[in-house]
Chain A
Amino acid sequence: MDFYQVLQIIIPSMIAYAAPLIFTALGGVFSERSGVINIGLEGLMVIGAFTGIVFNLMYADVLGAWTPWLSVLVAMIAALLFSTLHAVASITFRADQTVSGVAINLLAVGLTLFLVKKIYDKGQTDIIAETFPRIDIPLLSDIPFIGPILFSNGYYIAYLAIIVAIIVWYIIFKTPFGLRLRSVGEHPMAADTMGVNVTKIRYQAVLLSGAFAGIGGAIHATLFANDFSHTTINGQGFMAIAAMIFGKWNPLGAMGAALFFGLAQSLSIVGSSLPFIKDIPSVFLLIMPYILTIIALTGFIGRADAPKASGQPYIKGKR
């Protein structure tokens, strides 16, 4: 197997593994840019994964090939609704945002496993029949050399993740909503003085983060797990948080980091069949995203600073 063939296996798999991380990390960017820490991304992904799989199992006969797309959509709505809990607790009731996020994670796992046992009477769901097909993008995959690496044997939804990251970058840095979002996260009082509704923006941001994490969870479950159990989402939410920090709270940076972590994940899984890589113990690939994030935070790779007001509830009139 030569190097070019190795790339043909690794690159599509990297983009696929990165897709859930990209969506979820973008959600994290929205929430944290508005000043609300969202440790609950993991739990929101769990909700997305559960909803996606259950919807897929229920409607696969009726919807056919459209099932995975619609299940992602339904998962998005479910996680958005679930994230209102975090929004209400951390914005309106001024709860400690980290604590509320921890509660979201525990609640999501408890609730979904409770429902799985209730519906299926066992610890995991059945295997889904309809998943995203692997495709070659027309025209682009015919480009010599890079076509077979970048645009073949992939998933539409994975490419969509990259496009969405660019759109989110545009929204956050080029639109009035984005400006308000960032100002609320940096200095809510100043934003409030200028007539920005801090509470409203923060609610929107947290709900967006729920929606995006829901998409991420559903994609991960549909593509890689094919069913739902307690290990379906196992750290992907926290890895998305890592990607967000590593990308310095910038949507494109987060996307880049997510792609990199996707590479690590895919190597740790398909790497055992590849030359060179199979000699690296997979534990190094597994822990690399986390270790790199810690190093990024300490400032060895350019300092990563959170939005200034992140973690603090905004109380009108308080200095």
Chain B
Amino acid sequence: MSKYFYKLTSPLFAVILGLLAGAIIMLVSGYNPVEGYGAMLAGIAGDSYYTGETLRTIIPYILAGLAVAFAFRTGLFNIGVEGQLIVGWLAAVWVGVAFDLPKIIHLPLAILAGAVAGSLWAFIPGFLKAKFRVHEVIVSIMLNYTALYVTNYLIQNVISDNQDKTERIAETASLRSPFFESLTDFSRLHWGIFIAIICVFIMWFILEKTKTGFELKAVGFNQQASEYSGMSVNKNIILSMVISGAFAGLAGAMEGLGTFGYAAIKGGFTGIGFDGIAVALLGANSAIGVVLAAFLFGGLKAGAINMPLQTGIPSEIVDIVIALIIFFVASSYFIRWIVQRFKKGAK
């Protein structure tokens, strides 16, 4: 019982502490936290447009969270989700722009291109880890920047003629949904939400119901034991990164094919990949946990946009809250320690 108790309470604690800290920061800087969070809630679900936009924000958060969580289960820290996402975004858009095909082929092809590009980008750190024992964190950080600069170069010099973004993708490759648009007052909510849900199911299925998933998790628990019982640790490391990268690439494809319909030059990162780390951590790296955490963080992010409009509070307050939640989840030892103190005190 106590194990599950901690599993549930420490993320909850972290969220509450994070929101409290956000309220204190608002208070100290002379804003009204009740108004602030009120405006945020209105921005999350105030009317059908906001609800649509919130759900739209959640789509890449779910996929980025799955990407980080999947690698975590094999004992790998995929900090490169950001780069894989950018690469997947561009690949999906490229296919969307370059080909002229019927929708039934074009759309799946574009989505697949995103996933494959993300996989290939994640294959590099996986392969280097397996082959040379190089730490995947450093390699994937370096690849994040490489992805950023290379995609910017490709957009400007190869795909377009010195423009700062690509052409719009063909309608046959678009995930846009007139049905959702009519339902949510023309928000950008798109069909990708179903892809995200399918991926959640895929992750759960691979990890819990297949032999491959068992091996992946075994390697995450204990590499020596896995090796000794005949599993190939190297193969599983690479496989885990490749699948993780596919989720990340899909997250990018959702942005490219659904939300924006093009790929533009970026001055910096999208941030979705890094927030994916927060999502995975808070969701305890389980498929269902990732969904819940993505709803929370996606909601916070979407609601934040409304805060400066209604109350003048800079939307960055939400980034602060998310960062603090990561801190508190990471320092769960501290929360456990407090809980234990508290229990002892009660006795």
Residues of chain A touching chain B, judged by Cβ–Cβ distance below 8 Å, are 39, 85, 89, 92-96, 98-100, 102-107, 109-111, 113-114, 117-118, 230-231, 234-235, 238-239, 241-242, 245, 281, 283, 286-287, 290-291, 293-294, 297-299, 306
Contacts and interface: CB of A to CB of B under 8 A. Distances in A.
B274 A241 contact: no
B49 to A, nearest CB: 25
A36 B332 CA distance: 18
Contact of B326 (A103, A111, A235, A281): A103
B326 A106 contact: yes
B167 interface: no
B330 A100 contact: yes
B316 A117 contact: yes
A105 to B, nearest CB: 7
A110 B138 contact: no
Contacts, number: 134
Q: Among A102, A107, A234, A287, which residue has the most Cβ atoms of chain B within 10 A?
A: A102
19 contacts: A39-B141, A94-B331, A96-B330, A99-B281, A100-B327, A102-B274, A106-B323, A107-B323, A110-B317, A111-B316, A114-B317, A117-B308, A118-B314, A242-B138, A242-B142, A291-B142, A293-B142, A297-B132, A298-B131
Contact of B139 (A114, A230, A294): A294
Interface of B: 25, 29, 77, 79, 124, 128, 131-132, 134-135, 137-139, 141-146, 149-150, 152-153, 157, 267-268, 274-275, 277-278, 281, 308, 314, 316-320, 322-324, 326-327, 329-334
Contacts of A118: 29, 314
Interface of A is mostly: helix
A291 B141 CA distance: 11
Contacts of A102: 79, 274, 277, 326
A36 B210 CA distance: 37
Contact of B320 (A98, A100, A107, A281): A107
**Does more than half of chain B's interface fall in helix, strand or loop, or is it mixed?**
helix
Given A39-B137, A117-B314, A118-B314, A290 B142 contact: yes
Contacts of A283: 149-150, 152-153
Scoring A99, A239, A293 by chain B CB atoms within 10 A of each residue's CB, the highest score goes to A99
A114 B316 contact: yes
Residue picked from B79, B150, B320, B331, most chain A C-beta under 10 Å: B331
A231 B142 contact: no
A235 B320 contact: no
B314 A113 contact: yes
A57 B74 CA distance: 49
Contacts of B330: 89, 93, 95-96, 99-100, 103
Contacts of A107: 319-320, 323-324, 327
B132 A110 contact: no
A295 B181 CA distance: 48
Given A95-B333, A230-B268, A103 B146 contact: no
A230 B266 CA distance: 13
B106 to A, nearest CB: 29
A105 B143 contact: no
Given A89-B327, A287-B150, A294 B314 contact: no
Listed from nearest, the 4 A-B pairs whose CB atoms lie closest are A110-B319, A107-B323, A95-B330, A117-B314
A96 B281 CA distance: 11
A238 B327 CA distance: 20
Contacts of A293: 138, 142
Contacts of A238: 141-142, 144-145
